[in-house]
Amino acid sequence: MPAAVPSPGPAHAVRNIGRVLVRLNRLVVPAAVGMLALVGAGAMSPAMLLLTVPLPALFAGAMAAVLVPGFPALASARRTVGLAVAAGAVLMPVGAGVGRLGVFGPWVLLALLACILVLLTDRLTGPGNSTGNDLTQLARSVPRLPTGALISSWQESSAALGAATDPARQERVVHLRGVLLDELSRRDPAGVERWLESGDDAPQEHLGTGRNRTW
């Protein structure tokens, strides 16, 4: 008799439910945000819209461009900055839209935040949060990145290496770390030597260049 095929366990069912929730929220969140923004924008004057849409969008985009490692070299970083701009643009109209819903507004907002939390969790912990193509792009763009971005990428690659289960992905992460280490050594050889001798995980305390140096 052929061997019995083991039935999927509870963990498999939970993963399937999680994937369904993520796909559903990818449809629900943009639709809900769009409707709330339209309702809120309809209640705002044109002058108020001119103040509350472009300014938060520019501020959010500028902050994301500074804080997101690999921008503008990486496609994923550009997408993240684009999402930040969009979020800043709809922030005030969505708030006004929630206010127009009266007593239901807080409940709608809580439900929307829960859906957004599901998407953020998937983005941060899912296997596709840093693809092989992004790793390759980052390795190629290392010489053009500021030192602060190199340090951030090194720290993120440490976590990525520990979470990687695919041998090909592990190889790409190891290659990226080698490229990052070579570039940091070129910029501050004495600092890198101090860091390696110390055995610390984080290099920024030992590099004389500091995180804000952009050469």
Sequence-distant contacts of 106-115: CB under 8 A, at least 24 apart = 108/32, 108/36, 112/29, 112/32, 112/33, 112/36, 115/25, 115/28, 115/29, 115/32
pTM over 0.95: no
What's CA 24's distance to the chain center, in Å?
Answer: 20
Q: Which whole-number Å values give the CA distances from 57 to 17, 82, 85, 90, in the listed order? A: 34, 10, 5, 8
Cβ 195 vs Cβ 187: under 8 Å: no
Helices (H), 68-146: 75-100, 105-125, 132-141
pLDDT at 125: 62
Contact residues for 146 (Cβ-Cβ < 8 A; gap 6+): 212, 213, 214, 215
- Output the tens digit of pLDDT for each of the chain's 215 residues: 444 444 455 666 667 787 888 889 889 999 999 999 999 999 999 999 999 999 999 999 999 988 876 677 666 778 889 999 999 999 999 999 999 999 999 999 999 999 999 888 877 665 445 555 566 677 778 888 888 888 888 888 887 777 767 787 788 888 888 888 899 999 999 988 888 888 877 788 888 654 444 44
What pLDDT, on the 0 to 100 scale, is given for residue 138? 72
